[in-house]
Structure 1
């Protein structure tokens, strides 16, 4: 099965979906968004990595920034922060350059490596798009973290790729139904940029009346 271009979802949405399905639906279905210190800092880091008109060559490595990618089989499109094409004995050819090259995607993130696979899944999705577009196999990539100034190497296993494919399939199903999941509060809600829109604590009270009463009581106390 292949998706039409007009039905493509945002590739970067997989990080929202993996973090919280409700967050993804609020952003990508209901078009809700709210900045916080984390999203602003992340945008500044990406701005430094992105220059769609700038490619450079460092010895045997060609660096492409803000490279557009897509997958018709997954129905997604987006951009890779950086893709390194590394000269090798067994790779793909690149127009205007001699030799063969391996493909090495790099995603830029604020902060330090996370306990979850959110960033890894986004990078894996980018690699899968590149594999489909370039008819190649990509074994590894990296996530660069602004806080540690280091790259975390990611091996693209079949398990990761299956998780990415199943996530996008579920995202398409939810998008077609225009379905937004109900609130399920967790500690991660505190760092969410949409907490004032989502009102996660509302899901822990029996009614709106109870929520209002609790809020007034806290303010007066």
Structure 2
């Protein structure tokens, strides 16, 4: 079973083709959005571990869940020094989304921590740079199921080795791989249909 990078969940939520380009074809390019995100994460990840008001803050925490088949690096994990309870915190460049992709990624992080520690993690948090606001995320049964289903879909995509065809949309303008992907050009390519017609009955 192929281990799914936690970062692939966010890429898949944005665009399955982008996910395959990055994780199967090893394509990468940076634009101003990814640069802003990189700077934010470097600032968060570069800090030293510290304890304040009974909470231990650990940064750039590497996780690996063998049974669930996931791995990655968490921006931050908060640990209550009295109870030992853990809480993953994910930093995002933008603002809260209308779809639960950020919550699903955060919940997958919690599932990794649970497998590694044997501890049940009930809640995490998302911090958004655009609003400079922190949002609490309870890990409900439905969110846990959505996270597991998303991981399964991403694993299926990555194991297939197939890069989905382009589907141009408004989101393409924000994609750092726009020039690599060429969704407008390749989306009009009918060569596959032409070849299929040649050999059809």
TM-score bracket, normalised by the shorter chain, equals 0.7 to 0.9
**What residue is the counterpart of 1:45 in the other structure?**
40
**Which runs of 5 or more residues in structure 2 are unaligned?**
192-201
What TM-score do the two structures reach when normalised by structure 1?
0.80
Provide the rounded CA distance (Å) in 1 between the counterparts of 2:26 and 2:64: 22
Structure 1 stretches lacking a partner, 5+ long = 88-98, 209-221
The two structures, once aligned, show a CA RMSD in angstroms of 1.7
Could you say which structure has the greater relative contact order, defined with CA pairs below 8 angstroms and 6 or more residues apart? 2
Displacement of 1:147 after TM fit? 1.8
- Aligned equivalents of 1:206, 1:195: Cα separation in 2: 16
TM-score, length-scaled by structure 2: 0.88
Deviating 4+ runs (over 6 angstroms): none
The match for 1:24 is 19
Q: Which deviates more, 184-193 or 111-120?
A: 111-120
Counterpart position of 1:76: 70
- Cα distance in 2, alignment partners of residues 74 and 150 from structure 1: 31
Which residue of the partner structure matches residue 93 of structure 1? none
Q: Which residue of 1 aligns with 2:147?
A: 164
How do residues 1-221 of structure 1 correspond to structure 2 at under 5 angstroms?
Answer: 3=1, 7-51=2-46, 54-87=48-81, 99-205=82-188, 207=190
| Aligned residues between the structures | 191
Q: What SS does the corresponding residue of 1:70 show, helix, strand or coil? A: strand
1:184 deviates by 1.4
